[in-house]
Structure 1
């Protein structure tokens, strides 16, 4: 990789949040770089079809439009610190406060300079002192995004540069922690993308998804179970529940409206499913979500 880009970048953070989950999580595409620090737990990250086993202290740096899936791999809740950033400030893009969009390609006409990191090994591991430094920089970014101050833009840029430095200074070598290619990734990719497009349809089923992908329902089930460790139906439920969490955070809809909007046939089924997956009822989640979500963010995907 040509490192001369380091002399020219002027990074800009678009979002910063701490996220806690205790089961499968998932993203599809993002129009910016996703810088993710694992603070607790273990997980499998599938990045563009390559699976990486990550643990506490790891950082993953994903370039724009990199398909990715996240799956918790330990009993401990997975806690992530996530920063969405661009290498170069774009005045038009900065006005769009949505991150994690399924239609990111339609919203963002990505500057080719933002794709300079497509060839890097995406994994880094921070020693303990650097983990403290990371959290300090993260706090600077999050506070400034929530409560802008005079000159705060410079503080955010400086913090973003520090985050990139921490990643590259501690980057693991590809041969020491290489990823494993996921079998059947193009088929999984099409199936998951279709789920994220059609989850509102309460009648959506395995047969519809397999028909769209062009394989049998049995083969689709095998791919999900063998590669993601989850059934197609359960993945769909996770997709819907993550959308419910998003809508609760955003406000503007009551729980019945949310249940209908994300493909549940009744509020009772929605509530039972939500509690089984999240561990608390929708109303309890609404009361505590501010601990893990910045309400100013519009997190508009399946999601993670």
Structure 2
């Protein structure tokens, strides 16, 4: 094992459990992301390479690695997720919004790239799955309790998770994972959508023009690789941004609807309920209760 691993001091930023009946989206974060698949199946496309994720798999995504996740089974996808820095840094420890990529968060310290070349997925043995799940659940409890020595306790658990991940690398299939068809085009289109989602006039022609292909070809790639239309993907991005803004609790639903690119509050409310299952107001009420209880 690499000697530098003896010096790591992980800082845990976020611990969460996410359940999704239908998921298709792209994420990019400035920190490491551990994801344990508790239930369901999905395609993980990491920097253009597709991996088939299933129950018991553990993924490790280093900083600034573009990753697309698409559910592929009728069973809801349940992910145990932890965001962390490999080494503690006083400035970076204050960064809480993991998806916020700007000129500052793009500056990744060299030591945070130490795991960049590690194979990103481990297929855990059944016995190890139980241990990993228990550790994730313990870490979530400790993280949410916010008691003394929380950072020390969560750091210790991340080190254990790294042990299980690296242990599971032995004997893996070197040929696993294949480059996704049309990845370069998809990445350009998706990045453009994430930059311009607030524009209510964003359309397929503009996006395909930026990606450098015809609208028909881009539509084909979205349906083939993500099983979703371009417009549905735009809606997904807008709703995810809206959820984050609602949970911040600083703005009205009407203002948020406009900021994320919906042309009317009626369209926003209808799209939000169709995607999330409840209205924006109900979502706000549920999360404001969580904040008060916490």
Q: TM-score, normalised by structure 1?
A: 0.88
How big is the shift at 1:282? Answer: 2.4
How big is the shift at 1:238? Answer: 0.8
Match of 1:149, SS? coil
How big is the shift at 1:287? Answer: 4.2
Question: How do 1:209-228 residues align onto structure 2 when only pairs under 5 Å count?
Answer: 209-228=207-226
Match of 1:146, SS? helix
How big is the shift at 1:101? Answer: 2.3
Q: Is the 8 A contact 1:43 1:54 kept in 2?
A: yes
Cα distance in structure 1, aligned partners of 2:100 and 2:69: 16
What is aligned with 1:301?
none
Q: Is the 8 A contact 1:47 1:69 kept in 2?
A: yes
Distance 1:187 1:139, change over 3 A: same
Cα distance in structure 2, aligned partners of 1:289 and 1:180: 39
What is aligned with 1:27?
26
Unaligned runs of 5+ in 2: none
Cα distance in structure 2, aligned partners of 1:136 and 1:46: 27
Cα distance in structure 1, aligned partners of 2:282 and 2:78: 19
Task: Name the stretch that deviates more: 149-158 or 206-215.
Answer: 149-158
Task: Name the stretch that deviates more: 94-103 or 121-130.
Answer: 121-130
Distance 1:180 1:53, change over 3 A: same
* Aligned with residue 193 of structure 2, among 192, 195, 211: 195
Cα distance in structure 2, aligned partners of 1:60 and 1:172: 15
* Aligned with residue 278 of structure 1, among 261, 276, 291: 276
Distance 1:106 1:28, change over 3 A: farther
Cα distance in structure 1, aligned partners of 2:262 and 2:143: 34
Question: How do 1:1-304 residues align onto structure 2 when only pairs under 5 Å count?
Answer: 3-103=2-102, 106-171=104-169, 173-175=171-173, 178-288=176-286
Match of 1:106, SS? coil
How many residues are matched?
292
Q: Is the 8 A contact 1:17 1:294 kept in 2?
A: no
Cα distance in structure 2, aligned partners of 1:56 and 1:204: 37
Distance 1:241 1:173, change over 3 A: farther
How big is the shift at 1:69? Answer: 0.6
Q: Is the 8 A contact 2:12 2:151 kept in 1?
A: no
Q: Is the 8 A contact 1:121 1:173 kept in 2?
A: no
Unaligned runs of 5+ in 1: 296-304
Tell me which of the two structures has the higher relative contact order, counting C-alpha pairs closer than 8 angstroms and 6 or more residues apart: 1
Q: Is the 8 A contact 1:102 1:196 kept in 2?
A: no
